[in-house]
Amino acid sequence: MEIVERMENKLLNRVEIKFSWRHSGKATPSRREVMDLVKTLEPKSNPEYIVIKDCNTRFGQPLTTGLAYIYENEESMKVEPEYIHKRHEPLRAAKAEPAAEEPAAEEPAAEESTEEGGDE
């Protein structure tokens, strides 16, 4: 991924990054992949406060361009419309789920083995 332009917008407490990504021989990157790459480009950024906008892939070309906003805090993100928050909600929830699911996945397995033993 290449940063075409990087601008700090102090008024809205965000960093605006225009990017270009050549993905030769690969599928079009998902929003999650773009968010992860933006996170690596801006090490201090919190993935909860990254918004990907205007992500476009050229027909017949392995080139995706777009715009990413990296906000400083949740309060600053309130300038984004509600549909943008809904669009990014599954991406943020999916990142939090793997850590939360691991202990929960172990508990039902223990209950199932108890139930199976009682049926025999």
Q: Which runs of consecutive H residues, i.e. helices, occur in the chain?
A: 31-41, 82-119
Q: What is the pLDDT of residues 6-46, one digit of tens each?
A: 899 888 888 898 988 888 778 778 888 888 888 888 777 88
Q: What is the pLDDT of residue 5?
A: 85
Q: What is the pLDDT of residue 102?
A: 45
Q: What is the pLDDT of residue 119?
A: 53
Is this structure's pTM higher than 0.85?
no
Q: What is the pLDDT of residue 107?
A: 47
Cα angle: 69, vertex 5, 96; to 5 degrees:
30
Q: Please give the domain boundaries of the chain with CATH numbers for all domains.
A: 2-119 (3.30.70.330)
Q: How far apart are CA 84 and CA 37, in angstroms?
A: 19
Q: What is the pLDDT of residues 48-84, one digit of tens each?
A: 888 888 888 878 888 888 898 888 888 888 888 888 8
